[in-house]
A = this chain, B = another copy of it.
Amino acid sequence: MARAGTLFRGIADEIRNRITTGELAPGTRLPTESQLMDQYGTSRNTIRLALAALENEGLIATEQGRGSFVREWSSLTHHATRAERVDRPSSSTDAFVAEAREAGFEPSTAFSMRIEPAVAEVADRLQIPIDTFVVLRRVVRYIDGQVSSRQDSWYPMDVAEKAGLNVPHDIKEGTVRAMAAAGYVEVGHIDEVTSRMPSPDDHQTLDVATGVPVIVYVRTAWTEERPTRVTRVTLPADRNRIVYELGNIDAYEATQK
């Protein structure tokens, strides 16, 4: 019962302990605000400060009319190196579907395409002038109806046209393979991984709650000649992790047996 300097922090500490020790398991409902007021002999305001602190740490979620609940952080693996490897039979989407089904979930995807002027983030990486038109292909992935990730890929206009990417539907063999068939063979890429709190817009489009950051990685891929693709993947951190497999994977898998 180590009460910290202030009342509400002390209360938050105690509840946090009960969560991290497992006494309050994920999904468990916390006592109501009234009960906590009685229990700690404080005002409702103080209780709400404590609960707000825990919510912003991603530990609990409060729902109007229902109560506060201990939040669960499951994690589906996003294979950053496996998804787009040309020498493997699975395309990016297929890897997601396989992973989800294996974990016992029902995956689905929504696809869209549009042509837009390149913003600085994209133009710089593609080495083209800002506002040059580019093709944006978006894939939103769902798990059991909830958004799992959003993936935006931008292609230079000429590359997209020659590879047939400027079409409003999914490409079964995968865009990387379609580009390779058109002569644009990717020989490398750079991934920039960052994390931030969701904007109000993200709360809607990604269905991500308060206290849960999003992971963002931006992949710039190129051929021997020039950059040909920028892909940005945005993932709610409470249900995703990114995995990079590098080097001799077989040696590791052998140790698992």
Binding site for B on A (CB under 8 A): 13, 16, 52, 56-58, 73, 75, 80-81, 127, 186-200, 210-215, 220, 222-227, 237, 241-249, 251-252, 255-256
Given the interface contacts A188-B251, A252-B222, does A57 sit within 8 Å of B197 by beta carbon?
yes
CA distance A249 to B186 in the complex (A): 11
Q: Which residues of B contact A194 (CB under 8 A)?
A: 75, 215, 237, 241-242
A220-B252, A246-B81, A255-B226 as given contacts; A213 in contact with B195, CB under 8 Å: yes
How many subunits of this chain does the assembly comprise? 2
Inter-chain contacts of A188 with B (CB < 8 A): 245-249, 251-252
- CB < 8 Å: which of B73, B75, B189, B197 contacts A56? B197
Residues of B within 8 A of A242 (CB): 192-194
* 9 sample A-B contacts, Cβ–Cβ < 8 Å, listed by A number: A73-B196, A190-B252, A192-B242, A193-B242, A194-B241, A195-B213, A222-B252, A225-B251, A226-B255
Q: Which of B197, B226, B227 contacts A211 (CB 8 A)?
A: B197
- Which residues of chain B are within 8 angstroms of A252 by Cβ–Cβ distance? 188, 190, 220, 222, 227
B-side contacts of A255, CB under 8 Å: 127, 222, 225-227
- A190, B243: Cβ atoms closer than 8 Å: yes
List the B side residues contacting A81 at CB < 8 Å. Answer: 246
- Interface pair A197/B213, CB less than 8 Å apart: yes
- Roughly how many angstroms separate A126 CA and B198 CA in the complex, as a whole number? 35
Min Cβ gap A187→B in Å is: 4
Contacts of A227 in B (CB 8 A): 252, 255
- Option from B190, B193, B241 in Cβ contact (under 8 Å) with A245: B190
Q: Which of B56, B187, B193 contacts A193 (CB 8 A)?
A: B193
Cα A187 to Cα B192 with chains together (Å):
24
In the bound complex, residues from chain B placing their C-beta under 8 Å from that of A246 are: 81, 188-191, 246
Q: B193 touching A247 by the CB < 8 A rule?
A: no
